[in-house]
Structure 1
């Protein structure tokens, strides 16, 4: 496969278009969360029913993401991107027009199907059209779109919901989708694959079923009380059964769904592992902080968005300057500094308390944003810098899938740890709330154990203290996980400094 680097004007137009596509997709992973209570009231759904608005999108995207690499190889990347943007934009409009639960769940499922290819194909496009020596800058720009979406999603979603209606969290995609579709269609060239791989239906089916079971387990585990539920046990069995069949198939089939050469590239495998740990740290804190601020500190939605905004500013700074930084420093060194910043921010967050002001959160969020940006851009460059361009469509698709699974796993695991730690701390604190405790008598003189209002107020304060202790414990755990991920950087190979014939830039 050979090709040419687009002109500077075409590169700029394509860059804007694919960044808008990636931003739309990443924004939709979190923007609907804030509007969920409003949607629930509008369509008269129960708490369990409304959760399918999120679950349908997540599961559909997880199943289709591995398929996007094969589709791009078969049909051409431009064709896949254009139709994915059109389908995602149309589904977004239909979500905003939905009048009942069944409609919005169906349209969210379509959003997931069409949105699955937006991030991997936009990343592959940015890598392929970047001139030699400018891939770091390209990955910095793409990373801004991929990471800022989840960071800004709660803020944008809260503002749209409060200022207009929940329908605008979907309508906001329409102008950006139209611009992205027109830009990709007008400026991106299409080249057919010389030797398209045959479609491995069995391999795709087994992988899709295993991933669907995993996402359903992670998404519904908390509400179904995990493995005490028959439903969750069925999902766990499906993960093991379908996952086993998939692994055996790709190791024995002549032309499996995934090219085994992907798993022979050390940087790519390590990149997937580090990316998995990164999104646990990033999305875990993103999921916990708004809940902590709103439930324990009484922050309104808009103020929560303002307090968490410095995280996005820090990411923008390091991603925006990555082209300059990575030309002068080894990406492994930059990634190590990013890990240190992220770890230090989590160490700071382990000192949070109910009596704090917003300053500590602003500083730690800014540092974590800077660290995440340094890690993510360097990781993308190292993961794909040694990977053949023939494997780039499949590689970016699986890279995205691993990140998405990591984000879902991180949120689910940290939430269950937080809930259980809070219950444990609450039980220990309640043990000391008794009339014969002299410490309680000095702290709250005259407390009436027979007054239900006073007892309820005391229990509310215990709930807040227990929840805060559980959040601090989780931040300590994330601090340790981040430190554990640092040695993996030492195993990465330095990226190539020159383009090989196999890496000749092409547009598919």
Structure 2
């Protein structure tokens, strides 16, 4: 598939594809806040309600690697317009849902259409900007892809609190309408190819990735391998992945071209972006429950905590793409960004039960600054040697890696928090007895004693709170260590070509 050379940047297309990206990534986080309200509306259990999130993510992750294949077959323009229309239609149907079963089905379909939006938006932007201005392209793209999901919980909290949970789906309509109108008017037609459908590869890929995503989403809820469903999903995922790997390496018409990973930069950048996603989105996932369950923050105020992070990320994206990436080695910039991500998690890992709003918000701002420093340079390094004809496919794989990384992060932190609480409660309980002077001194101002029923209940409650606090702090520190461990991988990447750097600096 060919695309016109970008002699002049078309701002209309730039705005349109960023809106398309926002459409998908905002929806991936905005629903989380409304989930308890949806659960109450349909009388669903917590396990059942999580399928509203899981169905979307599983279908999106399975379909996303197929972006290049489908774009070659039907054309990039037709695919992105169809994806926007389908995504918006499913959003409306989600908002009109009358039962848990219907909303899960509509979310499944919404994820399938939404899967194409991020990779296509990224590759269209790459074509809209000349190579020497890719830093600017990724800064613009990053404003949508990284800032929108950070602010999603804030928007979702406001809509749910003051209107209805249904509004988190209807809010997509104006964004989609604007993106559709702009793209329909400005995005040129492109060539298509007669590509044979690789049904075997498609089935194996769907089984491998779909079952893996199911394990990550439902593992903690179902107590991992003690559940027969998780055991079967693990076996199916491994067999599907191995089967797809063999098929892709021996077939000439594989639905996904794994030879892209022969490019050193692309392979390493996928590893780094996965580590970054685990560290970043793992922390974002548990922060609302941390402040609401332990610090008694209302939903609205917990959403406000993400505003400084979003503002800092926006500033970082623009500064990195417009200024820094033309003056510094992208590997160094990404390394600094990963360091800031680690520092942010370490700051959260040093808090206590008396932490105030800004003690919780400042680490988010530090993390936001790191987001731009990681996202923009990593996108440039990953696609440094990828030809235009393979950008749709490479973008699909890169974004699948980012999505799986965030899923792994969310799954890991959920497990760490629960297991940590159990361990910490057992350890703390061993040291609190009716004869412990510290326990007696703690209860004395309240007129209680450790051997009284009220005193024992009060101590039990406090032990639970402290055990939960220690668990959360340990998780934040673990995420910080993971971010640090990812940094050395950056320096195995090849630096951008000298002539490209010279062109960037000249502009």
TM-score (ref. length: structure 1): 0.95
Larger CA deviation: 490-499 vs 448-457: 448-457
Match of 1:472 in 2: 473
SS for the counterpart of 2:132 is coil
Map 1:343-492; keep pairs closer than 5 Å. Answer: 343-445=342-444, 447-449=448-450, 451-492=452-493
Residue 89 of structure 1 pairs with residue 109 of structure 2: no
SS for the counterpart of 1:444 is helix
Larger CA deviation: 247-256 vs 368-377: 247-256
- Checking the alignment, whether the CA contact within 8 Å between 2:450 and 2:459 is kept in structure 1 is no
Larger CA deviation: 320-329 vs 415-424: 320-329
Distance 1:134 1:268 in 2: 19
Residue 356 of structure 1: CA displacement? 2.1
Residue 483 of structure 1: CA displacement? 1.1
Match of 1:502 in 2: none
- Checking the alignment, whether the CA contact within 8 Å between 1:386 and 1:496 is kept in structure 2 is no
Residue 452 of structure 1: CA displacement? 4.3
Map 1:24-63; keep pairs closer than 5 Å. Answer: 24-63=23-62
Map 1:309-348; keep pairs closer than 5 Å. Answer: 309-321=307-319, 322-348=321-347
SS for the counterpart of 1:494 is coil
- Which of 252, 258, 261 is equivalent to 2:259? 261
Map 1:52-451; keep pairs closer than 5 Å. Answer: 52-193=51-192, 195-321=193-319, 322-445=321-444, 447-449=448-450, 451=452
- Checking the alignment, whether the CA contact within 8 Å between 2:440 and 2:450 is kept in structure 1 is no
- Checking the alignment, whether the CA contact within 8 Å between 1:161 and 1:169 is kept in structure 2 is yes
Match of 2:497 in 1: 496
Residue 4 of structure 1 pairs with residue 4 of structure 2: yes
- Checking the alignment, whether the CA contact within 8 Å between 1:310 and 1:365 is kept in structure 2 is yes
SS for the counterpart of 2:191 is coil
- Checking the alignment, whether the CA contact within 8 Å between 1:132 and 1:498 is kept in structure 2 is no
Distance 1:395 1:115 in 2: 17
SS for the counterpart of 1:385 is coil
Distance 2:292 2:232 in 1: 35
Distance 2:499 2:69 in 1: 28
Distance 1:273 1:477 in 2: 18
CA gap of 1:390–1:2, structure 2 versus 1, over 3 A, is closer
SS for the counterpart of 1:29 is helix
- Checking the alignment, whether the CA contact within 8 Å between 2:440 and 2:449 is kept in structure 1 is no
Post-superposition Cα deviations, 1:276-314, rounded to whole Å, max 9, x if no partner, equal 001101110101111111111111111112222111111
Match of 2:503 in 1: none
Residue 200 of structure 1: CA displacement? 1.4
**Count of aligned positions:** 497
Gaps of 5+ in 1: 500-508
Residue 20 of structure 1 pairs with residue 22 of structure 2: no
Distance 1:497 1:201 in 2: 43
Gaps of 5+ in 2: 501-507
Larger CA deviation: 269-278 vs 354-363: 354-363
Distance 2:79 2:173 in 1: 19
Match of 1:505 in 2: none
Distance 1:147 1:418 in 2: 25
SS for the counterpart of 2:252 is coil
Calculate the aligned-residue CA RMSD, in Å: 1.6
Residue 18 of structure 1: CA displacement? 1.0
- Checking the alignment, whether the CA contact within 8 Å between 2:275 and 2:483 is kept in structure 1 is yes
Residue 450 of structure 1: CA displacement? 6.1
Residue 44 of structure 1: CA displacement? 2.0
CA gap of 1:449–1:344, structure 2 versus 1, over 3 A, is closer
Residue 199 of structure 1: CA displacement? 2.0
Residue 362 of structure 1: CA displacement? 2.1
TM-score (ref. length: structure 2): 0.95
